[in-house]
Amino acid sequence: MLRYFFAGISRTIFVSGHGYLKSPRSRNFVGNEDGKWWGGPPDGPAKETCAHCLNRKQVSGTCGAIGGRDYDHPPSQSGFRMKWQSQATYTQGQVITIEAVLTAHHKGHFELYACALKNPEEVATKSCFEENPLKFVKDVLYGSPKDKNYPMRAYVAPNDGNANTISDPTLPNGGGMLLKHEYRLPNKVFGEHVLIQWKYYTANSCEVPGYDDYDFPSQSWRSGNLGKCSILDETGDDAPERFWNCAEVTIAKDGPSEPPTPPAPTDAPITPPPSKSSEPTRGGGGPTNGEDSRLIAYVGNWQKCPTSEQTENYTHIMIAFAVTYQWSSAKNICDESCTISMPPYSSCSLNINQLIKITH
């Protein structure tokens, strides 16, 4: 009888979950909080039981995967794609607050990137994210200094007994250490469908470049006697252990919107001419030497004041004062000064009732 013995050697596989992006909620955390096993909408999120475990991804992926669930294509309850759900609305270049939770603390740092998509089902590329890093501004809870050589990094404070921890049975792994950082969005990224990528590099097996030059607040922020990490693979199979999450957000364009298109010009209404029986007398000829006005039309024939019969057939009376000039005594039999005023009326004024009647 032949007997066979098989032996296999494989790479080290990391199995414990370590963290997730809590705010804005990552796709995997949305699945954890909102996902249903049954009874939900077909395009609603599938139930995610290990939102803190996305330490793998496809070679070309960017949003992490766990147990066959690939969050570059976030799964829905029906087995297709989850509907896009923006978790926050920001403004181009705004400083935003990012919250993450670590369920197992292995030091290291976070990096964040943004990528605007053409449509909600587009898969973001690594190059799109790397072209648009968010800039670290402030560690709200623990005072992590900025890294002048790597401005996108937020270093993880030690869990030394003073950490801000969350204990909540509804959260992945029942809670963990809360980290809150302020980041500035890239100025050139905006759109209705934008992904924010959260990357967590652990530092308990090896250190990526830059740690030796960073001003850690104390040695407790850093693991000791670690070697340098080799070239990082794209799947998360090799050290250091890394985690990828993506959050769906909307980023509004800063500044004024495009001005509205002005309406097309319309022709001015044409005023119908008065009836022939009441046609006014027209001025004859242009101004003579020494005159600085032209008489276009007038009521009556140079009489002292127009009568009601002559004015009530008109719909508009315009009185315009452009210049001061001397009346022509050769043509004008009125007083040299002629005004329209409130009572008491001058001898050359229209009756106020006539004006009301005419203008209405």
Structural domains in the chain, CATH included, are: 18-252 (2.70.50.50), 294-359 (no CATH)
| Dist CA 245 CA 65 (whole Å) | 9
Q: What are 220's two structure tokens?
A: 């407790």
276: phi then psi, degrees, rounded to nearest 5: -65, -30
Give the pLDDT of residue 79: 87
177: phi then psi, degrees, rounded to nearest 5: -85, 125
Which of 113, 90, 148, 91 shows the shortest CA–CA distance to 21?
A: 113
Distances 306 to 72, 180, 319, 334, 351 between C-alpha atoms, Å: 87, 84, 14, 11, 10
Residue 306 has pLDDT above 90, yes or no: no
Q: How large a percentage of the chain has pLDDT more than 90?
A: 59
Which of 101, 324, 108, 139 shows the shortest CA–CA distance to 205?
A: 108
Residue 351 has pLDDT above 90, yes or no: no
Helix locations, 179-248, DSSP H: none
Helix locations, 261-351, DSSP H: 308-311
Q: What are 261's two structure tokens?
A: 């298109």
Pick the most confident of 4-18, 179-193, 325-339.
179-193
What residues are paired with 247 via a beta bridge?
26, 196
Residue 292 has pLDDT above 50, yes or no: no
pLDDT in tens, 24-35: 999 999 999 999
Over residues 149-165, the mean pLDDT reads 95
Least confident of 115-119, 130-134, 254-258: 254-258
Residue 339 has pLDDT above 90, yes or no: no
Distances 187 to 111, 117, 253, 254 between C-alpha atoms, Å: 17, 16, 9, 9
Q: Region of 272 please: left (phi>0), alpha (psi -120 to 50) or beta.
A: beta
